[in-house]
Each structure stands twice: as structure tokens, then as C-alpha cells.
Structure 1
Amino acid sequence: MKILLVTLCVLATIHPATLSQSNSPQSPVEISGEAHHHPKLENEFVRIWDVTVPAGEATLWHVHRNDNVVVTFADANLRLESATAAPAEAQWKFGEVRFAKATYVHRAINTGATPFHNLTIELLKSPGPQEQSPKYPITRTPVLENERVRVFRVTLEPGQSTAMHTHVFAGLSIALTSGEIEITTEGKKPADKLSLPLGDVRWRAGAVTHSVKNVGKTRFEAVDVELK
């Protein structure tokens, strides 16, 4: 019993950082081994992680081996530490979308008073364009576009609809807010009525022509990520 008490006293004096010394920029964990990252959806094209870092907490050092897109659900203040660059303070805004090129090792420290909640979308494979000459091209300006993705932000007030438009790439839609929507798809009747929670993810396997209407009582916001 005396030996056990001495052992417990010694452990109590060890700073938590000491217990995680094996985790470092030189010895990062895979994303699957980082406790703040939770699997959300995976197929041959994407692997999506639902990430929440509470205020005052930090992720482990972890490695990103695939290009990725990050979509945030709330404002947050972070300190980002990288294995190859100086630490940087970062402010994230609700609905912000950022792209990162692999491979890199980092950790995130939440220095704010609110949780940092995001979806991290790993880009595994390119599906390529599904339709070359869309009947209803998208006229909105993307919030992000490069050789891997094209991303659009959608904001609909109650009763408001998008125009009929064609997504020429496979991709996914992410609900930034909860909401009630009605989707009218060309060649399909009746329209689909959906009740979406915040963070809902809908995978779209190929090209589609549709319009979206907010049939709820509050503003609905979403992000649509097309994979090139």
C-alpha cells in the first residue's frame, strides 16, 4: 500500500505535457489517432472528419497526408503550430472555407472562448467532370476554386429559392445551419423535402440539375463542395 501511495504521488506531480512528450512534430499521430477528429463519411473520393476542439484545449501533433478542405461552423480563435513554420494566430469565421495542400504536420490550440467546430474533408481521388455542357450553368461566384475543388456558399431566407442549376462535378453539400429545404431535381417528381441538422452532409455521386428552396422559418446556409 505504501509503495502504491508513493507511486500515485509521483504521478500527480508530473505535468500533463510530460506525459505526451512522445507526441511531437517529429512523432505525430495519424488523424485517426487524434481524439478531436471523428469519422463522418468516407468513400473512394473523400474522407470526412468531424472536428471539435473545446476552448482551452489543443489537438495532438498530427499529420495530414491528403489535400483537404476545412469548413467551419462557428467563429473561433486558434494558435496553429507547424512542424515547418513559425506559430501563427488564426481567426476563423462562421462558414469559412480553407484549402490546405498535403503533406504537413501541425497542431491546433484553441485560444478563444468558444469551441472550434469544423469538417475536415480529405480529398482522396478525383472523380472528374460528369457533364461537359451544362444546361443551366452555375452563375454564382465560388468562394474557393483551385485545381482540386470548386466551393459555393448558399444563403436562403425563408421562402427563397436558388435558380435551377447544374453541378457538373461530383461533390457534397454541407448544412452550416439546421433548416427545412425542398429540392426540385430535373426529371424527378415530386420534389424532395428534407429536414437538415447543422453539419448534415449529403454526397452527390454525379452531375445533377436542381433548385433548392428554403421552406423553413429561419435563414438556411450551406456550402457545396465540387470535386474536380
Structure 2
Amino acid sequence: MSASKPMADPDGNRIALGPVGQEVVFENDEVRVWEITLEPGARQTWHQHENPYLVIALEAADNRIDSIAGGEPRLVHEEVGGVVYREPGEIHMLTNRGTTRYRSRLVELKCLGENNQ
């Protein structure tokens, strides 16, 4: 997991990167599993994934993904049981823009990232 490094958001405000999830619920040499829960209007702070990862939605919600590089946000609907695979890299922030709680498990593939360098 990377240390927080100071930088600026698209509005020029100084920020420090946070963790990719809120709580590690499992970890071994190959994977790290995070729990993420966002109430309506809540956000997961700016963060950057260093490992390829899967997101598994446990509770559905309408989310917004903002990139620190700016541009239009990505609006996504996360269905219960839906799974997405993403490559590491982009610094972004996740906001629950819906009216229901969002909950997911994020599975970092350390075996393809930090342990494979």
C-alpha cells in the first residue's frame, strides 16, 4: 500500500492520497480484500490503485468516479453481485450519488502488482 503523497485536485486544492478502501478484511501474499461502504452523498477520498483489482458490489448504488486529471466524471450504476476488473494507475475519487447505501469488496491482486515487480 502506498504512502500518502501531497498533490492538488482539479480545483487546485492540496490533497493527500488516501487508502483504496476503508478496512482490510482479508490479506495474504497474493491478494488484499477491502470493504467499502458509502452512504448516499459520501465519498471514498482521492486514491490510486497500485495493483490490478476487482470490485464486487454487495449493495447497489449510483456512483460517480472523478479523475484527478479532470474531465467529465464517469457515472456508473453498480448492481448487486456485479463484478468489474480494473487496471491500476488513475488517481480518482468515488462518490455515492444515489439514494441507497453502496457496499462493495475490492480485491487487489498483489500477485499481479506489488509482488510481481
TM-score range, shorter chain: 0.7 to 0.9
Give me the identity figure in percent: 24
The 1-side partners of 2:32 and 2:26 are apart by 6
Q: Is the 8 A contact 1:77 1:91 kept in 2?
A: yes
Mapped pair 1:64 → 2:53: no
The 2-side partners of 1:37 and 1:54 are apart by 13
Mapped pair 1:100 → 2:86: yes
Q: Which runs of 5+ in 1 are unaligned?
A: 1-20, 127-228
1:206-221 aligned within 5 A: none
Mapped pair 1:22 → 2:14: yes
1:39-78 aligned within 5 A: 39-78=24-63
Q: 1:121 aligns with which of 101, 104, 107?
A: 107
Q: Which runs of 5+ in 2 are unaligned?
A: 1-12, 113-117
Q: Secondary structure at the match of 2:45?
A: coil
Q: Secondary structure at the match of 1:125?
A: helix
Mapped pair 1:86 → 2:78: no
The one-letter amino acid paired with 2:32 is: R
Match of 2:7 in 1: none
The 1-side partners of 2:32 and 2:77 are apart by 25
1:3-22 aligned within 5 A: 21-22=13-14
Q: How many residues align?
A: 99
The one-letter amino acid paired with 2:17 is: P
The 1-side partners of 2:88 and 2:41 are apart by 27
Match of 2:5 in 1: none
The structure with more radius of gyration: 1
Following superposition, the deviation at residue 29 of structure 1 comes to 2.4
Aligned CA RMSD, in angstroms, stands at 1.6
The 1-side partners of 2:23 and 2:18 are apart by 14
Higher strand share: 2
